Amino acid sequence: MRHAARASQDAYPSRRADLPQILRRRDPVVHGEWTREAPLTRDEAAQFDRDGFIVLRDLFEDREMEMLCDEATRLRTAPDGSLDPETVIAEPESGAVRSVFKVHRQSRLFGRLAADARLASVAQFLLGDEVYVHQSRMNYKPGFQGKEFYWHSDFETWHVEDGMPRMRALSMSLLLSANTP
């Protein structure tokens, strides 16, 4: 009885439903109203609304990307004690660092990146509100090495595991290396 009452209150029962089902989205994709001052073009905003993602190229200068790559290397090779051990995920066999969580709190540079207007203004526009970082992480998984890597997170995960009530969130990724087949 409690499950039925909770499901009726939950706009997105997700994995908690007894049977799989396709649910209509009850929230807009783009919450902001497009104007000429928006950080995205009208076409980019429309593409995000239609497809659920956009790729913004050349947002950062080469020198900025070099600094971010250097910092990513520094974090991966940081001596013991410089990172919160609870935030580091290692390869089971080799012990090599595969992910560092809360990277925006453990690196001044990545903290500034998380607040950078080139990213934050896009998030504020798409969500139509002030924003905060729910989770940050650096993923290092090299191709064809180590254990499989299940690192995808989205509303379903955040809703069920963290209690996020509505789809008013987004994921942003900055690719520091080429992603190829």
Q: Which domain holds residue 155?
A: 2-162
Tell me the per-residue pLDDT of 87-96, one tens digit each, with 9 for 90 and over: 998 888 888 8
pLDDT in tens, 27-59: 899 999 999 999 999 999 999 999 999 999 999
Under the banding of pLDDT at 50, 70 and 90, the label for residue 152 is low
- Tell me, yes or no, whether 176 lies in a domain: no
Per-residue pLDDT for 105 more than 50?
A: yes
- DSSP labels, 29-66: S--SPP-TTSSS-HHHHHHHHHHS-----S-S-HHHHH
Report yes or no on 69 lying in a domain.
yes
Find residue 139's DSSP bridge partners. Answer: 99
Residue reference for tokens 């925006």: 104
Using the predicted structure, report yes or no on whether residue 60 has a pLDDT greater than 80. Answer: yes
Report the predicted TM-score, pTM, of the whole model to 2 decimal places.
Answer: 0.83
Q: Residue 150's domain is classified under what CATH number? A: 2.60.120.620
Domain count, the chain: 1
Residue 167 is assigned to a structural domain of this protein? no
Domain membership flag for residue 138:
yes
Helix axes 108-115, 62-76, angle to 10 degrees: 130
